[in-house]
Amino acid sequence: MGAIIKRELYSFFCSPVAYVVMAIFLFFSGVFFSVVCLGNDTSNLTYVFTNMFLVTVLLMPIMCMRLLSDEKRLKTDQALLTSPVSILGIVLGKFFSACVLYLVCLSIYIVFGVVLSFFVTPHWTVILCNFLGLFILGAALIAINLFLSSLTESQMISAISGFAVGLFIYLLDNFAAAIPVSFISTALTKLSFLSHYQNFTVGLLSLADLIFFLAVIALFVFLTVRVIEKKRWS
């Protein structure tokens, strides 16, 4: 697993992918931070983090599109699957490598905290909670996009389906509201990434939200393993 994480990070930073993702992420983070916080003289980062939801949803497909699809296209999966590594190890290696890149993006919020600390004493625990929320949201989206990239040999299809799923996740609350059948709409609301994430942005750390995202990660990592496994048997 360690070898795969190392290789993926090497490949991220050898190609423009890592820089494009970081540039987009840092640009929007910076814009939201300067407009919302510095522009309005507030140390409340809630709005910054709320706005980052959509950016993250749309950024993760770009980050994850080639993780598994390229392996299949270039037949390098033969090297991985014939090495003494379990399929779970391979998938987790890919997953954590994307998480590390994402953490590098997120590190800008430490800078924001430090900037704020020049003016006021920031609520570090709240910022930490925001940070954790954005991280775990991103990790869940990485797992979903990793799964999507395991389904196809084309990066393009992987990315586009990632955007589609991302938009669906973003609009899930609206869909839920439009459905007249109450139990379906309640069920959809419970699955809403946004409402689970919003608790983090206001500094509310609830076990339920944490478990929700962890469950999404576990589910999609599991599904990805099954997809690769299935390919061996069919």
Partner 1 sequence: MVEVKNITKCYGDKKAVDNVSFTVNSGEILGFLGPNGAGKSTTMNIITGYLSSSSGTVTVDGCEILDDPKGVKSKIGYLPEIPPLYMDMTVQKYLEFMYDLKKVKLDKDAHIEEVCRLVKISSVSNRIIKNLSKGYKQRVGLAQALLGNPPVLILDEPTVGLDPKQIIEIRNLVKSLGKKHTVILSSHILSEVQAICDRVVIISNGKIVADETTEGLSKSLAKSNRLLVQIKGPKSGVITAVSNVKNVKSIKTEREISEDVYEYIVEANEDCDIRSDLFFKLAEEKWPLILLQSADLSLEEIFLKLTTDTEYSSNKGGKK
| Site map (CB under 8 A) of partner 1, residues 194-233, x = contact | --------------------------------------xx
- Choose the stretch contacting partner 1; rule: CB under 8 A; options: 9-17, 48-56, 96-104, 136-144: 9-17
Concatenating the DSSP letter of every residue in 198-210 gives: HHHHTT---HHHH
CB of 12: closest distance to partner 1 in angstroms? 10
Quote the DSSP letter at residue 38: I
Long-range contacts of 221-225 (CB under 8 A, 24+ apart): 221/88, 221/91, 221/92, 221/95, 221/143, 221/146, 221/147, 223/147, 224/68, 224/91, 224/143, 224/146, 224/147, 224/150, 225/87, 225/88, 225/91
Nearer CB in complex with partner 1: 79/120: 79
Q: Write down the residue that tokens 């949803």 correspond to.
A: 57
CB of 143: closest distance to partner 1 in angstroms? 22
Site for partner 1 in 68-87 (CB under 8 A): 74-86
- Choose the stretch contacting partner 1; rule: CB under 8 A; options: 4-12, 141-149, 179-187, 192-200: 4-12
Helices 108-117 and 87-106: angle between axes, nearest 10 degrees: 30
Nearer CB in complex with partner 1: 30/89: 89
Q: Which residues bind partner 1 (CB under 8 A)?
A: 2-4, 6-7, 10-11, 14-15, 74-86, 232-234
